[in-house]
Structure 1
Amino acid sequence: MQKIRFGTALYIGEDSLKRLSDFKNEKIFIVTDSFIASSALLPQIRSYMDPSTEILVFSEVIPDPPIDNIVAGLEYSKDFSATILLAIGGGSAIDAAKAMLYFGKLTGRFSGIRFITIPTTSGTGSEVTDFSIITDDEKGTKYPLITEEILPNEAILDAGLIAGLPPKQTADTGMDVLTHAIEAYVSTNANDISDALSEKAIRYVFTYLERAYKNGGDKEAREKMHMASTMAGMAFNITSLGINHGIAHAAGARWHIPHGRINSILLPHVIRHNAGMVEGNYGKNRTLAAGRYAEIAKFLELNAGNVQAGVRSLVNAILALQKKLSMPKSLSEWGITKEQFESDKNRVAEAALADRCTETNPVTLTKEDVIHILRKSFI
C-alpha cells in the first residue's frame, strides 16, 4: 500500500503573487538569502502584502545551509511570534525554512503556523516536497530531513521571478529537474501517478531548458521549466529518489559542487550502471531499470528499437543536452584533482549508501559499485 498526498495548494500564473494580499493582520517571517534581499525581487513581493501585516526578514541563508544557519534563523525570530513562515528563493532558502519549521515545531514555537514558499529558481521542487537537505560542515555531509511536518501549505509559482536567472544557474537547476524526474520514474516506489508527473517534466526539460538557457526572457520556456520543476518535485515526493542524489549529496558536500551540476555529471553513469550496461558489456546484468530507461527514450521519440538501444539513446540525449548548456561532463573537468578524488572516494561512497534517497534506487548497490560510478564520473 502506498500513500499519495498532495498537500500543497498551488497558485500559478502572472497574478499569483496577489495571493499575498489575502493575508491581513498577520506576522510574516520571511526566510531568504542576501541576494534576494538586496535585489528588486523582495520589494516586488512585499508590495503585494497588506499594510496590516508585520514583517521580519532573515536574509542570512547561505548555499547548502548548515545547521548553524538554521539555528541563527530560529534565534533571530524567537521574539516575533510569526503566524506565517514565508520562504523566498531557491532550494537553499526553502530548505532552510523547512528545517527552521521542523525544529520550531519541536519547541512548540511554530505550532499552527502557515508555511508558504515562493521559488525563484526552477530546479529543486522543494516548494511541494517534504524533503529538506541540511549540511554538516564539520563532517562534510548532507542529510535529508524527510517528514510531512515540513510540507508547505502553499506555493506561489510566478515564472516572472525567474526571468533574471543567469544561464549557468538555469542550466544547473534545469538538470536537477531532469535528474529528479528520471530518478522518480525508475524508483522502486514509482506508480502510475508519479510516472505521469515524471514523464511530463522530462518532456518539458528536453523541449524548453535549452530555450530558457539561451534566452532568459523566453516567457513560455521559463513558465514550462517552472512547472517542470514543481511536477518533478511532486513525483519524487511520492517515490523518493535514488543513488544519483545519494552520491550528489555526499560528493556535493565534500567537494562543494553546485547540486544541479553534480547531478548532471553523475546522471549518464548512474543510468548505465543501473541498467547493467557497464564496461561495454550490454548483454549481461540487464535490470528492470533498463526497461524503464528505455521507456523514457520511447516517449522522447529517441531510437529505442530494443532496451539496450533505448538506454544508449537516453544517455546520448542527456550528453547532447549537457553540451548545449556548456556544462562540465566530469568531476575532473569541474576541477576535482586526482588527489582529492582518491582521498575522498571511500567516504563519499559510504555516505551515499547511507543516504535515505538511495533506499529507492532500482538496483541494490555495493560500495564498490558506487566507487565505480564515481570513477566513471571523474574521468
Structure 2
Amino acid sequence: MYKIFYKTELFIGEGALEQLRIFKDERILVVADPFLKTSGQLADITSFLDASNELVIFTDIAPDPPIETVVAGISSAEAKPVSIVLSIGGGSAIDAAKAIYYFGKKEGVFSEAVLVAIPTTSGTGSEVTDFAVITDNELGTKYPLVSKEILPDIAILDANLVLSLPANITADTGMDVLTHAIEAYVSTEATDFSDALAEKAIRLVFEYLPKTYRDGKDIQAREKMHVASTLAGMAFNTAYLGLNHGMAHAAGAKFHIPHGRLNSILMPHIIQYNANHTDKGRQRLNLEIAGRYQAIAKHLGCSATNPAIGVKQLINEIKKLQRQLNLPTSLREYGIKSSDFQEHKEEVAMAALNDKCTATNPRTPTVQEILKVLEKTY
C-alpha cells in the first residue's frame, strides 16, 4: 500500500497573479529574492494585493539559505501574528520561506498562517514539495527539512515572471527539473502516479528547455517549463530523489556550484553507476534499473532496443542537451581546482552517503563507490 497526497492549490497561466486580489485585511510576510526588490518586479507583484493588507517585506535571502536567514526572517515579523507567508522567487527564497514558516509556527508567530508560493524560476518545484534545504555555514553542511507542514497551500505559476530570466539560469534550473524527474522515475518509492508526472516532465524539458534557452521571450515555452518544474516537483514529492541530489547537496556545500548545474554534471555518471553500465560492457548490467532508464529513452523517441542501449542513448540525449545549453560537463571544466577537489572529495562522499535523498536511490552505494563516481565527474 502507498499513499498519495497532493495538497497545493495551483493557479497556472498568464494572469494567474490576479489570484492575489482575494487576500484582504491580512498581515502578510513577503519573503522574496533581493533582486526582485531592486528590479521593481517585487512591487509589480505585490501591487496585486489589496491596500487593506499590511505587508512586511523580507528580502535578506542568500543562495542555499543559511540558518541565520531563517532566524532573521522570523524576527522581521516583530513577534506580531502573521496570517500569510508569501514566498516569491527561486528555490532559495521559497526554501527560506518554508523554513521561516515552519519554525515561526513552532514559536507561535505564524500559528494560523497560510503559505503561498510564487516561483520566478522554472526549476526547483519547491512550490509543490514538502522539502526545503537550509545551510549551516559554520559546518559547511546542507540540511534537508522535510515535513508536510511546509507544503504550500497555494502556488501561483505565471510565466510572465520568468520571461527575463537569464539564459544561464534558465539552463541550470531546467536541468534541475530534469534531474528531479529522472530520479523520481527510478526511485525505490516510484509509483504509477509519480511515473506519469515524471514522464511528462521529462518530455517537456527536452522539447522546451532548448527553446527557452535560445529565446527567453517565448511565452509558450516558458509556460511549458514552468509546468514541467511543477510536475517534476509533484513526482519527487511522492517518490523522492536519489544519489544525484545526495551528491549535489554535499558537493554544492563545498564547491559552491549552482545546484542545477551540478546536477547536470553528475547526471550521466549517476545513470551509469545506477545501471552498472560501462561503455565496454564488462560489468553485469542491473537489468531492472537499466530497464527504467530504457523506458525514459523510449519516451524520448530513441530506439532503446535493449536496456544497455537504452541507458547509452539516454546518456547521449542528456549530453546533447548539455551541448545545446552550453553547460560544463565536469567539475574541472566548471573551474574547480584539483587541490580543492582532492581536499574535499572524501568529506563530500561521506556527506552524500548520509544525505536523505540517497536513501531512495535505486542502487545502494558505498563511500568508495561514491568516490569513484565523484572522480569521474572531475
| Category of TM-score, reference length = shorter chain | over 0.9
Distance in structure 1 (CA, Å) of the matches to 2:232 and 2:292: 16
For 2:135, give the aligned amino acid.
T
Between 1:73-82 and 1:329-338, the stretch displaced more is 73-82
1:10, CA displacement in angstroms?
A: 0.1
**Equivalent residue number for residue 176 of structure 2:** 176
- Deviation readout 1:11-47 (Å, 9 max, x if unpaired): 1111211111011101111001210111131111111
- Structure 2 alignment gaps of length 5 or more: none
Distance in structure 2 (CA, Å) of the matches to 1:166 and 1:250: 26
**Equivalent residue number for residue 263 of structure 1:** 263
For 1:354, give the aligned amino acid.
N
Distance in structure 2 (CA, Å) of the matches to 1:255 and 1:244: 15
- Deviation readout 1:275-327 (Å, 9 max, x if unpaired): 01137335514242111000000111113011100000000000010011000
Distance in structure 2 (CA, Å) of the matches to 1:138 and 1:229: 31
1:209, CA displacement in angstroms?
A: 0.2
- Deviation readout 1:351-375 (Å, 9 max, x if unpaired): 0011000000000100011011101
**Equivalent residue number for residue 147 of structure 1:** 147
Q: Sort the Cα spacing of 1:286 and 1:336 in 2 relative to 1 into closer, same or farther, 3 A.
A: same
Q: How many residues align?
A: 378
Distance in structure 2 (CA, Å) of the matches to 1:165 and 1:48: 21
**Equivalent residue number for residue 14 of structure 1:** 14
**Equivalent residue number for residue 246 of structure 1:** 246
For 1:173, give the aligned amino acid.
T
Distance in structure 2 (CA, Å) of the matches to 1:278 and 1:298: 20
1:213-362 matches, within 5 Å, as: 213-278=213-278, 280-281=280-281, 283-362=283-362
**Equivalent residue number for residue 92 of structure 2:** 92
Distance in structure 1 (CA, Å) of the matches to 2:21 and 2:39: 21
**Equivalent residue number for residue 74 of structure 1:** 74
**Equivalent residue number for residue 377 of structure 1:** 377
Q: State the TM-score, normalized to the length of structure 1.
A: 0.98
Q: Is the 8 A contact 2:56 2:76 kept in 1?
A: no
Q: State the TM-score, normalized to the length of structure 2.
A: 0.98
**Equivalent residue number for residue 64 of structure 1:** 64
1:139, CA displacement in angstroms?
A: 1.5
Q: Is the 8 A contact 2:199 2:296 kept in 1?
A: yes
Q: Is the 8 A contact 1:135 1:142 kept in 2?
A: yes
Coordinate RMSD, CA, aligned: 1.0
Q: Is the 8 A contact 2:79 2:109 kept in 1?
A: no
Distance in structure 2 (CA, Å) of the matches to 1:337 and 1:357: 27
Q: Is the 8 A contact 1:28 1:82 kept in 2?
A: yes
For 2:217, give the aligned amino acid.
G
- Structure 1 alignment gaps of length 5 or more: none
1:80, CA displacement in angstroms?
A: 3.6
For 1:261, give the aligned amino acid.
R
Q: Is the 8 A contact 2:176 2:264 kept in 1?
A: yes
Distance in structure 2 (CA, Å) of the matches to 1:79 and 1:270: 46
- Deviation readout 1:79-131 (Å, 9 max, x if unpaired): 34211000000000000000011111111221110000000000000000000
Distance in structure 2 (CA, Å) of the matches to 1:78 and 1:278: 57
